[in-house]
Amino acid sequence: MGSRSTPEADSNPETVTPPRGDTRTVTPFTGEVTRSLVGEFGRINTVAAGDTTYYLGGPDAVRRLTPDGGLVWATDLDVDDNDHVATVTVGDSLVLCAVETYGDEATHARLVALDRETGAKRWEFRTQTQHGESRLDAVGQVSPELIFAGTDGGYESDGGDESTEDDRPERLYAIDAETGDGLWTMTDFAGKATFGGIFAFRNEPYVLYNHLYKIDAEAGRSRHVVAPGSRDFSGGVRHGELLYLTGETVQAYNMVTGSVRWETDRSAMPTGAMQVGTRHLFVATEDGTVAGLRTDDGRAAWRVTASEPVLELGYGAGLVWILGESGTLQAVRADDGSIRHDSTVSNAVDAANGFRSLYTLQDTVLVDDGWAQLFRVSSA
């Protein structure tokens, strides 16, 4: 890990003055690799974490694991050579598996719902094949009855032999959570936009396509654009009644009042990595800075500078885990940013895989850097 700056000088009782000088470790700490999962389960494309388990999506199957890597169930999704499991999302009682499909003809994406407890297939939903949609960018359960799935659009034919990407609209699908039936499709978003997430508060759904939209779930249309002015956001995370949005600025949006509690600039473009704790919001920027912003006013309680660009953040048990793009893994204390752990999780990354992520669950950290390794967290 690289250099760090001192917290802002204020009277926040939660902020602890970090060690100065060359002090690198506050207390003895280990984070040893306890298990490598890729050798047992083959290539892993995607990972999701539930309340007590992990879900691994490979090229053709999804597996549920205990925190120590024990297999609970495995379900083969019957994909062909042009398909692979691209994302896995955990719903209320379902595991939602987005399968990407590629081919010479018009492509489509499909969403397969599995029972969380047994892994049994409940239903399958396919996007509109005439639009050539090859993937689902985001999937989320916004109420016990309703699932949203958003696509990157598709190639629209003009009746000739060619189609252009410029004609692709973004599409939001509403799906019945019990049956998998499509309820409606929505395309009225402002211009070409990047899907940043699906959120729900008191069963009211929101989607982020650069701007934040509140959706009328019954009518299948957006009620209004929530994000003020020309603000563009690339991602978000919800905690209680606040939705934290990240882009060139970080904004705390109150979902009850419809107002912005605070907004703060970022020193560099965001990586999209963001986590939220009880009293801090943890954000990362492309220059390798990780900051703990106070959730009450957005001011930085601490900042650290990683030794390489940040790929992903994780949070659990009072620690912020930082995964670097070449496989470095650091942990800092959530309250003051002091360094607890610094290591390299692998000597090489499976470039053909290309999926890397970080998840925390109980006393285990799972790093999917092409190898899918479990770390047992312990303090000496």
270 and 284 Cβ atoms separated by less than 8 Å? yes
Cα–Cα distance for residue pair 84/16, rounded to 1 Å = 47
pLDDT digits (tens, 9 = 90+) for 323-369: 887 778 888 999 999 887 777 766 444 434 445 678 888 778 888 76
Identify which of 313, 377, 379, 314 has the alpha carbon closest to the alpha carbon of residue 31.
377
CB atoms closer than 10 angstroms to residue 258: 10
pLDDT digits (tens, 9 = 90+) for 300-327: 999 998 878 888 888 887 889 888 877 7
**Which amino acid would we find at residue 348?**
A
How confident is the model at residue 339, as a pLDDT?
82
Say which residue, 104 or 291, is predicted with more confidence: 291
The DSSP bridge partners found for residue 331 are 321, 341
pLDDT band at 31 (very low <50, low <70, confident <90, very high): low
Q: Two tokens at 66?
A: 């205990």
Query: Residue 114 burial by CB count (10 A; 0-12/13-18/19+): exposed, middle or buried?
Result: buried
CA-CA distance, 359 to 355, in Å (whole number)? Answer: 13
Confidence of residue 120 (pLDDT cuts 50, 70, 90): very high
Residues 85 and 46 sit within 8 Å (Cβ to Cβ): yes
> Which pLDDT band, with edges at 50, 70 and 90, does 187 fall under?
confident
91-105, 168-182, 235-249, 340-354: least confidently modelled range: 340-354
Average pLDDT over residues 88-100: 90
The model carries a pTM of 0.80
Mean pLDDT of 175-187: 91
Q: 159-163, 219-223, 254-258, 271-275: which has the minimum mean pLDDT?
A: 159-163
Of residues 86 and 169, the one with the higher pLDDT is 86
pLDDT, residue 105, reads: 55
SS3 313: strand
> In whole angstroms, what is the distance from residue 44 CA to residue 359 CA?
14
Which is it for strands 319-324 and 71-76: parallel, antiparallel or unpaired? unpaired
Sheet holding 280-285, edge to edge: 4-5, 300-305, 289-294, 280-285, 270-276
**How does the average pLDDT of the chain come out, rounded?**
76
Confidence grade of residue 119 (pLDDT, cut at 50, 70, 90): very high
Query: Would you report the helix, strand and coil content of the chain in percent, each value rounded to 5?
Result: 5, 55, 45
- Closest C-alpha to 180, from 218, 229, 147: 147
pLDDT at 131 > cutoff 70: no
- Which one has a higher pLDDT value, 145 or 247? 145
Q: Give pLDDT tens digits for 50-59.
A: 778 889 888 7
Helix (H, G, I), strand (E, B) or coil at 131: helix
8 A C-beta contact, residue 330 and residue 23: no
Q: So what's the pLDDT on residue 376?
A: 73
